[in-house]
Amino acid sequence: NAGVTQTPKFQVLKTGQSMTLQCAQDMNHNSMYWYRQDPGMGLRLIYYSASEGTTDKGEVPNGYNVSRLNKREFSLRLESAAPSQTSVYFCASSENRGNEQFFGPGTRLTVL
Amino acid sequence: QQQVKQSPQSLIVQKGGISIINCAYENTAFDYFPWYQQFPGKGPALLIAIRPDVSEKKEGRFTISFNKSAKQFSLHIMDSQPGDSATYFCAARYYLRNNNDMRFGAGTRLTVKP
């Protein structure tokens, strides 16, 4: 069991470029999440998906889009990257009414 | 603004000492309070969690104390070890449209000196 995997591990973008962060889980979880982690801010929820085909906004969704491709995969897209989106991005998954969220190893994104 | 306030921001403890991290919340709809541990370069991992109908939960050297009336909870690490050096996040969860909507504190960087 790989758990939650994320690609890429590191990425540098220029302002205005676009990219997609990929996330996959092999735990048969229904719910998946995207967070960003910034110093002094903890983790903040960007988007979540309760099940395949559904997505909802979290605390900080502006500038991002998501796709729940199937039960395993949940991608995060930056259409036009801005320096304010420099952060570490974590994907997580959980059972629908389960208590524990399982996190991936993160993607460190720098926008110049 | 942060729905879960965590302190201190950083903590240095000698090996064998007690580490204490505190969190406070406002939203009484929260029904589950986990603590996550994060090592550098890794994702957070669940350490221990408590529900508001319990005042204390202990797992090995880690204890959560929960004060529902004060809307505060804390993590105590007894006999702190250098291997406990990590960043700790408290969190609070409420159900929103069948999801775990988790709000995290800002984190505490713990350093345990040998």
pLDDT score for B99? 61
Distance CA(A106)–CA(A35), nearest Å, equals 9
Residues of B in Cβ contact (< 8 Å) with A106: 41-43
Tell me if B44 and A103 make a contact (CB, 8 A cut-off): yes
Please provide residue A28's backbone torsions phi and psi, each rounded to the nearest 5 degrees.
Answer: 60, 30
pLDDT at B101: 77
pLDDT for the residue B97: 63
In the predicted model, what is the mean pLDDT of chain B?
93
Please check whether residue A76 is in contact with residue A21, taking contact to mean a CB–CB distance below 8 angstroms: yes
At residue B96, the pLDDT reads 65
Residue type for position A106: G
Instruction: Kindly report the nearest CA distance between residue B16 and chain A, in angstroms.
Output: 27
User: Is residue B94 very low, low, confident or very high in pLDDT (cuts 50, 70, 90)?
Assistant: confident
Cβ–Cβ contact A2 with B under 8 A? no
Q: Which of A31, A41, A106 sits opposite B43 (nearest CB)?
A: A106
Q: Give the CA angle between residues B50, B55, B56 to the nearest 5°.
A: 65
Is residue A4 less than 8 Å (CB to CB) from chain B?
Answer: yes
B4-40 pLDDT per residue, tens: 999 999 999 999 999 999 999 998 889 899 999 999 9
Of A42, A48, A105, the CB nearest to B99: A48
Residues comprising chain B, all counted: 114
